[in-house]
Structure 1
Amino acid sequence: MSFSRLWTIARLELLQRVRTVSWYVLLGVFAVVLLGVTALAFLAYGGWGPGGPGVYSVVVLVTLLLILLVSPTLSGNSINGDRDAATLAPVQVTLATTGEILLGKFVAAWITGLAFALVAAPFLVISTLTGEVNPWAIVTSLAILVVETGVISGIGVALSGIIARPLFSVAATYLVVAALAVGTLVGFGLIGSAIASEGVSHTRQAAYNQQGNPECTDGSSNCYGDVDKMVCEDWVTTTYRVPRFDYVWWMLSANPFVILGDATPTRFDSSGNPDDMFGWLKTSVRSAQIPPELEQTWDECDPANYQNLYSGSSDYRTPEEIISETVPSWFVGLGVQLALTALLLWWAWARTRTPARTLPPGTRIA
């Protein structure tokens, strides 16, 4: 494989995009959207102290969202589009191999996606200059953003080599992206709810009179909190469905936003709460790993309930405790994405290589 030939193909692909006016219009729209998001993020975090970490995380997450929306259009027709335009066959008869053509177009699509990420650079710098942004969070989040851009670009280029029609390949790329970004979340919710377990709740209430005062064994009405004098009702047992998201939390590991949030290091305030959206996203995903309580008991006549009520003790876990008690999954999801991209690129190479034994009906070869 020749790096010179590979870069020549990538450069030609990039020059075709740069010459179009729509390219600059799309970059301008991208910048306007990020400007509005940054302004709103500063307003949202302004009342909660220094907004640097929060604003930075919001801008990165929105940048990833916009790249997921734009990249399939830019990469989903790179190979079959050239075939329809009769520009692929002249390249295939040169010294460039099928692998060089495929990888060259992949590199061009990746650079194109990174150009949109570059538009977000000024807004990321502004949020960073406000202070208190974790340097490791910057390095990690930007690295994941670059890799995710490459994954989406690779999927688009691969599908453009597998599917003969550009329209269908672009649509298929959007479907794969939707499956990763939305389908994992939908599957997680539906399957987790479908395999719900049965929960049991035992409750016992204190008896109250018509005036709303507790009934007391001595006939008074001011014995609330004195369990020896309170009159208690019978125990009531109820059952209910408890979704078991702890069985399917792994489905979220391949979600691009989950990978970004889970991989980024988190800092916490004095109350154990994250200082950015990455941390809150990580907390939400990690919470699904914790098995739910299937049996609960509440006894209004139990002295322990009053002790917990007045002492403030409870089973509440802070986000910092949840993250420390659970395991990361971002590297598994990223590995699945990379394996999927590599498999699709190999399939595209097999479909694009020459000489070809068979071609799809209606495929243009010159």
Structure 2
Amino acid sequence: MTAIGAFLRGVGLIVSLELKQRVRGVAWYVILGVFFGLVAVVTVGVWVVTGTWGGSGGGLFSSVVYFVLLLASLISPALSGNAINGEREGGTLATIQVTTITTGQIVIGKWLAAWVASLALLVVTVPFLAIAVGIGEVSAATVVSSLAVLAAELGVLAALGVGLSGVIRKPLFSVVVTYLTVAALSIGTLIAFAIAGTVTQVQVTQTTVDFDYSTTTDEGTIAECAPPTTTTYSVPRFDLYWGVLVANPYVVVADASYGDFTRDGQPNDLFGYIAYGVRQAQVAPETERFDDYCHLAPGEYFGQDQPTPEEVLRSGVPSWFIGLSIQAVLAAAALFAAWRLTRTPSGRLAKGSRIA
């Protein structure tokens, strides 16, 4: 047997052991049942709301995908955050480490097992995703891209949990740190983006030419062009910090999954709205504006020549692969650190700690 074959066989053994331990307990089936029930409630609720507004399946499909990502963010750290240090505290890790199974096989096997367990949550939601697709106006490209990126995000969450469980010795602490890391990526990036953009201001000078209705005659009021008026005000510079949002899991899914639009170029689901919002945040505000309402042609209005969201998204360069790469680097770093701190024999241990 080749070295690669032997390595994969050891990884497969760890994955098999981990999954067998999960399915033996009642708790795993309770989690799946509760998960199924919550997704069912959300699906019915969104279906009623979008049906009232005359929406299509796109809104329902994207809502279910995002809700799965939200619940997975809450469940995955609990499932994987004590994968290594939990066995170390229970004294069962030493039983594996005295065999021919290497530390790398243990870490990767536990990560893959946690990933498969997370994917089981996604499988549970297939009936509800099928309902959204059946309603219509959800393209195959959107279905494939969103589910593929969602599966990758679940892998990142599992890797962070397993990696931190090998770096941090206390199971409870590692689970908490995993939750905080996931929160930093999903909520922290939004807070940092909003605060940094709001604090950084730029002054805008706006000149406006409007109508003057002060002149009256026997025939009525005459509309004339008033002298230009100039005002100054400050606006946030979100364009300087849009990169903070790149690593946000919800932005990654949206930027990779948009693709369905209405006939007038408006987004047909949450993916498009979020992706369009991020693209708009990249545009620097105009520091000089001139609005001439007095000389507009009949039927003309400001902003009518602006590109539609579909045109903006189709012509721009997606950034989801950058965000996913950043997450992958963080996950790989966590797994590598877990391998370094778990491998035996260890050259150095912290006082009062042990490997197994």
* Structure 1 CA distance for aligned equivalents of residues 25 and 50 of structure 2: 38
Match of 2:127 in 1: 122
Q: 1:324 to 1:291 in 2, by over 3 A?
A: farther
Aligned pairs (5 A) from 1:149-298: 149-203=154-208, 206-207=211-212, 214-216=213-215, 221-224=220-223, 227=224, 232=226, 235-298=228-291
Q: After TM superposition, what 4+ stretches of structure 1 lie above 6 angstroms from structure 2?
A: none
- 1-side partners of 2:229 and 2:136: how far apart? 54
Is 1:105 aligned to 2:110, yes or no? yes
SS at match of 2:188: helix
1:20 pairs, out of 21, 25, 41, with 25
Paired AA for residue 256 in structure 1: P
Question: Alpha-carbon deviation of 1:335?
Answer: 0.8
Superposition deviation, residue 299 in structure 1: 4.8
User: What are the ranges of 5 or more consecutive residues in structure 2 without an aligned counterpart?
Assistant: 1-5
Q: Conserved in 1, the CA contact under 8 Å of 2:342 and 2:355?
A: no
* Most deviating of 261-270 and 71-80: 261-270
Q: Distance in 2 between matches of 1:239 and 1:273?
A: 32
- CA gap 1:360/1:119 in 2 versus in 1, 3 angstroms: farther
Residue from 337, 340, 361 that aligns with 2:351: 361
Unaligned residue ranges in structure 1 (runs of 5+): 208-213
SS of residue matched to 1:202: strand
Q: Deviations over 1:298-331 (max 9, x none)?
A: 455x323xx26x3245254421132134321001
Q: How far apart in 1 are the matches of 2:198 and 2:163?
A: 35
Q: Which residue of 2 aligns with 1:210?
A: none
Q: Shift of the alpha carbon at 1:246? A: 1.4
SS in 1 for 2:347: coil
Deviation (angstroms), 1:218: 5.3
Shift of 1:71: 0.3
Q: Give secondary structure in 2 for the equivalent of 1:216.
A: strand
Secondary structure at the counterpart of residue 363 of structure 1:
coil
Tell me, yes or no, if the aligned pair for 2:103 and 2:344 is still in contact at 8 Å.
yes
Are 2:65 and 1:60 aligned?
yes
- What percentage of aligned pairs have identical amino acids? 44
Name the amino acid aligned to 1:104: G
User: Of 300, 304, 319, which residue of structure 2 is paired with 1:311?
Assistant: 300
CA distance in 2, matches of 1:64, 1:343: 22
How far does the alpha carbon of each residue in 1:110-140 deviate from its partner, in whole angstroms, 9 at most, with x for none?
Answer: 0111111111111111211222320111111
Residue-by-residue CA offset, 1:329-360 (whole Å, 9 max, x unaligned): 00111111111111111111110000012223
Q: Does 1:349 align with 2:339?
A: yes
Query: Is the CA contact 2:267–2:309 (under 8 Å) kept in the aligned structure 1?
Result: yes
TM, length-normalised to structure 1: 0.90
Contact 1:50/1:132 (8 A) holds in 2:
no
Q: Which AA in structure 2 matches 1:102?
A: V
Determine which structure has the larger strand proportion and give its number.
2
Distance (whole Å) between structure 2 residues aligned to residue 102 and residue 166 of structure 1: 16
DSSP 3-state at the match of 1:223: strand
State the partner residue of 1:323.
313
Q: Check the 8 A contact 2:11/2:109 in 1, yes or no.
A: yes
Show the counterpart of 1:92. 97
Q: 1:22 to 1:123 in 2, by over 3 A?
A: same
The correspondence for 2:47, drawn from 26, 34, 42, is 42
Give how far 1:174 is off: 0.8
For 2:328, which of 307, 325, 338 is the aligned residue? 338
Q: Is the 8 A contact 2:258 2:275 kept in 1?
A: no
Aligned to 1:25, what secondary structure does the other structure show?
helix
Q: TM-score, normalised by structure 2?
A: 0.92
1:77 and 1:170 in contact (8 A); partners too: yes
Largest Rg, 1 or 2: 1
8 A Cα contact 1:259 1:330, kept in partner:
yes
8 Å contact kept, 1:59–1:123: yes
C-alpha contact 1:289 1:326 (8 A) present in aligned 2: no
Q: Which moved more, 1:47-56 or 1:250-259?
A: 47-56
Q: Deviations over 1:172-193 (max 9, x none)?
A: 1111111111111111111122
Q: CA deviation at 1:271?
A: 1.1
Decide which moves more: 82-91 or 43-52: 43-52
Query: Bigger CA drift: 75-84 or 190-199?
Result: 190-199
> What is the count of residue pairs matched by the alignment?
350
